[in-house]
Amino acid sequence: MSWQSLRPQWGIVLGSGLGGFAGRMESTESVSYAEIAGLPQTAVAGHAGRFVFGNVGGVPVVAAQGRVHLYEGFTAREVSAHVRWMRERGVERLVLTNAAGTCNPRFEPGSWMMLGDHLNLTHTSPLLGGPNFHDMSEVYSKRLRAHFSAAVSELGVALHEGVYAGLPGPQYETPAEVRMLQRLGADAVGMSTVIEAIQARALGMEVAGFSCLTNWAAGLHPGTLGHEEVLETGKRAAEQLAVVLSRAIPGFPACMPG
């Protein structure tokens, strides 16, 4: 069967170092972003740039392996093009994953944080030019969060919940910026996700977000930050998220309650 005829219910965007989840999906087919008109392509190491179609516990999903970022010079419309494409293919629920620095002294690097909310500090939006004032009071679905928390506690995996601050990058933050983010209520900081989440909500998708906390944000620990460290920690933690998603996705009720 070709991917054109597949109708995945779930979409999963795999962030830096987290692409390995696609290898756990059953009966996969893939299409590279280069083959799809209108999809921008990434040049960042650790981001493959293709959609992988398959099943997780019998549930059809499509995983976006790789995303483009504002810091590569793309617009917010371009950064969210894969979300609109997945919606057109039938995706109703979107799981966004990313690598992030932890600003919360209680959230150790190597652990996962589920996004309870976000701060969009990118100064842009995928909805610019559109007429609608979309509600963003529950970007990350309460229902999905409750479901993932329950799955995680059965598995005995540690999962924090907190606020993700999305910045444009590409440089990491200064210690003063990290102190500012802490005062603003951020638990983690990264350079993706918020634009995609806004786009998905505007399209009526149900969204969940997970940050792999790859490092202490600048100034919280001695030493400097590098992309290699982020990829390495991401790879190790990816296995845990794969287990959580493989358990939680098949167990999720397909229809809205009530």
Q: Would you tell me which residues interact with ligand HPA (CB under 6 A)?
A: 99-101, 172-173, 189-191, 214-215, 217, 225, 230
- Supply the minimum distance, in Å, between the C-beta of residue 169 and ligand HPA: 6
CA angle 159, 163, 166 (to 5 degrees): 120
Indicate if 147 belongs to the active site: no
Cβ-proximal residue to ligand HPA, closest one: 101
Q: Quick one: CA dihedral 44, 48, 53, 56, positive or negative?
A: negative
- Supply the minimum distance, in Å, between the C-beta of residue 191 and ligand HPA: 5
- Taking only Cα atoms into account, the Rg of the chain, rounded to an integer number of angstroms, comes to 17
Indicate if 72 belongs to the active site: yes
In this structure, what token pair is assigned to residue 227?
A: 């992309």
| Annotated active-site residue in 47, 82, 118, 160 | 47
Type of residue found at 66: G
Count, in order, helices (H) and strands (E) of the chain.
6, 9
Q: Measured from the CB atom, is 144 or 165 closer to ligand HPA? A: 165
Q: How many CA atoms lie within 13 A of 109 on its CB side?
A: 19
- Supply the minimum distance, in Å, between the C-beta of residue 63 and ligand HPA: 20
Indicate if 134 belongs to the active site: no
Q: Is 71 helix (H, G, I), strand (E, B) or coil?
A: helix
Q: Measured from the CB atom, is 99 or 197 closer to ligand HPA? A: 99
CA distance 65 to 94: 14
- Supply the minimum distance, in Å, between the C-beta of residue 49 and ligand HPA: 19
- Active-site amino acid positions: 16, 47, 69, 71-72, 99, 191-192, 215, 227
